[in-house]
């Protein structure tokens, strides 16, 4: 795998690894929080549209106004779906009686949840005998967390862009309504 000489563990390395882990966990939490906030705002906006839908006199409004309401609603709904995608856990298919030694990342909870505690502890105790192997396991875990972060932030960005694009027809609609009242 990685050719690193790690016969002795120094405080700087441990501090760096701890910092990396904390940052990654914070970024995952931040992405989830942002997605939850965006979902709340969108749900409130769509709720207002839905409650006013039955009292809305769409027959007396122009097709442009009805189209703008539809564009706003669809954009926000799709944005909501992307935000839900950000916070939805991606669980791998469960493998019964899995051999933990063939696992790509034994630190990931889904890799160890299908074997007995005794087997897992025995395997991990064997792995942590070598500081080099501990580093490898941590770096593999960091790398895979990076993929999770990349995916979360990609979908979060799409969700934000769609939410903002959905505001454009709403603003145009508000302008049209005020212009028609004047």
Q: Point out the residues of the chain with pLDDT beneath 50.
A: 1-4, 6
- For every residue of 77-94, DSSP letters joined together read HHHHHHHHHHHS--PPPP
Taking the domains of the chain in order of start, what are their residue ranges?
11-181
Q: What is the mean pLDDT of the chain?
A: 84
| Distance, CA of 104 to CA of 13 (rounded, Å) | 23
> Which residues make Cβ contacts (< 8 Å) with residue 27, sequence separation at least 6?
149, 153
| Distance, CA of 12 to CA of 17 (rounded, Å) | 9
φ, ψ dihedrals at 178, nearest 5°:
-70, -35
pLDDT in tens, 112-161: 777 888 888 888 898 888 888 888 888 889 999 999 999 999 999 999 99
CB atoms within 10 A of CB 66: 14
Q: What is the SS3 assignment for 107?
A: coil
Q: What is the structure's pLDDT at 1?
A: 45
Q: What is the structure's pLDDT at 165?
A: 95
Q: What is the structure's pLDDT at 2?
A: 42
Q: How large is the angle between the packed helices 131-181 and 117-127, nearest 10 degrees?
A: 110
| Distance, CA of 156 to CA of 109 (rounded, Å) | 24
């Amino acid at each position: 795998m990685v050719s690193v000489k790690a016969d002795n563990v120094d405080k700087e390395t441990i501090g760096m690894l701890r910092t990396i882990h904390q940052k990654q966990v914070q970024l995952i939490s931040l992405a989830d929080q942002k997605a939850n906030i965006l979902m709340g705002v969108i749900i409130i906006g769509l709720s207002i549209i839905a409650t006013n839908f039955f009292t809305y006199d769409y027959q007396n409004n122009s097709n442009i106004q009805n189209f703008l309401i539809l564009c706003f609603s669809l954009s926000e709904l799709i944005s909501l779906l992307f935000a839900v995608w950000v916070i939805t856990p991606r669980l791998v298919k469960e493998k019964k009686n899995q051999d933990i030694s063939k696992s790509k990342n034994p630190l990931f909870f889904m890799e160890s949840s299908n074997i007995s505690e005794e087997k897992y502890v025995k395997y991990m105790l064997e792995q942590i005998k070598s500081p080099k192997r501990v580093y490898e396991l941590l770096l593999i875990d960091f790398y895979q967390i990076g993929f999770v972060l990349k995916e979360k932030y990609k979908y979060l960005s799409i969700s934000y862009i769609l939410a903002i694009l959905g505001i454009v027809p709403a603003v145009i609609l508000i302008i049209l309504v005020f212009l028609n009242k004047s």
